[in-house]
Chains A and B, each alone.
Chain A
Amino acid sequence: MVTASYQPAGPAPEPQGSAPEPGGTILQTHDLEKNYGAIRAVAGVSLRIARGELVAIVGPNGAGKTTLLSVIAGEQRASGGRIELAGRDVTKAGAARRSQFGIARTFQVGRAFRSLPVRDNVALARSVRLNRRWRIADNFTRDAGASPDVTDLLARLNLADKAGTLAGNLAQGDLKRLDLAIALALEPKVLLLDEPTAGVGVDEAQAIARLVVEMWHDSPGLAIVFISHDMSIVFEIANRIIVMHEGSVILEGDAEQVRSDERVRALYLGESL
Chain B
Amino acid sequence: MPRDDSSRAVTNGPVRALAALARRYTARPDQTPAAPPAAVIVVAGALALSGLSNPATLFNWYLVVIYALFALSANVVIGWNGIGTFGHALYFAAGAYAVALLATANLPAEVLLLLGGAVGAAIGLMFGLAATRTGSLVAMAMLTLMFAQLGYQIVYGVGVFGGENGLVGIPRGSVFGISLNSTTAFNWYLMIVFGLCWYALVRLRRSTVARAMLAARDDPTRARAAGLHVTGLRVTGFVIGGLFAGLAGALYAQTEGVIGSDVAYWTTSGMVLIMVIIGGTGRLWGPVIGAALYTWGNVYLLNTTSTMDVYLGLALLLILLVAPRGIAQLLTSAARLAVSGARRRHREAGTGTRKGNPRRW
Q: Which residues of A contact B (CB under 8 A)?
A: 73-75, 94-96, 99-100, 104-105, 107, 111-116, 120-121, 124-125, 127-129, 132-145, 179, 182-183, 186
Contacts and interface: CB of A to CB of B under 8 A. Distances in A.
Contacts of A127: 208, 212
B119 to A, nearest CB: 21
Interface stretch (B55-63, B87-95, B225-233, B337-345): B225-233
Contact of B214 (A99, A116, A179, A183): A116
Interface of B: 28, 30-31, 203-204, 206-212, 214-215, 217-219, 221-230
Contacts of B204: 136-137
Nearest to A122: B226
Contacts of A129: 227
Contacts of A116: 211, 214-215, 218
12 contacts: A74-B224, A95-B225, A112-B222, A124-B215, A124-B226, A127-B212, A129-B227, A133-B209, A133-B229, A136-B209, A138-B207, A142-B30
Contacts of B230: 96
Mostly helix, strand, loop or mixed at chain B's interface? helix
A61 B30 CA distance: 46
Contact of A99 (B28, B208, B219, B224): B224
A139 B206 CA distance: 5
A113 B208 contact: no
Given A114-B218, A115-B214, A116-B218, A135 B224 contact: no
Contacts of A144: 208
Contacts of A135: 207-209
Contacts of A138: 206-208
Given A139-B207, A142-B31, A105 B225 contact: yes
Contact of B222 (A113, A136, A141, A142): A113
A94 B31 contact: no
Contacts of A74: 224
A128 B226 CA distance: 8
Given A124-B208, A134-B209, A140 B30 contact: yes
A223 B334 CA distance: 50
Contacts of B215: 113, 116, 121, 124
A107 B206 contact: no
A181 B218 CA distance: 17
Given A113-B219, A115-B218, A116-B218, A125 B207 contact: no
Contacts of B225: 73, 75, 95, 99, 104-105, 107, 183
A99 B203 contact: no
A9 to B, nearest CB: 29
A267 to B, nearest CB: 30
Contact of A141 (B30, B209, B224, B226): B30
Given A113-B219, A114-B218, A128 B210 contact: no
Ranked nearest first, the 9 interchain pairs of A and B with the lowest CB-CB distance are A99-B227, A141-B30, A95-B224, A128-B227, A113-B215, A113-B218, A111-B222, A135-B208, A140-B211
Contact of B226 (A94, A114, A139, A182): A182
A196 B313 CA distance: 48
A128 B222 contact: no
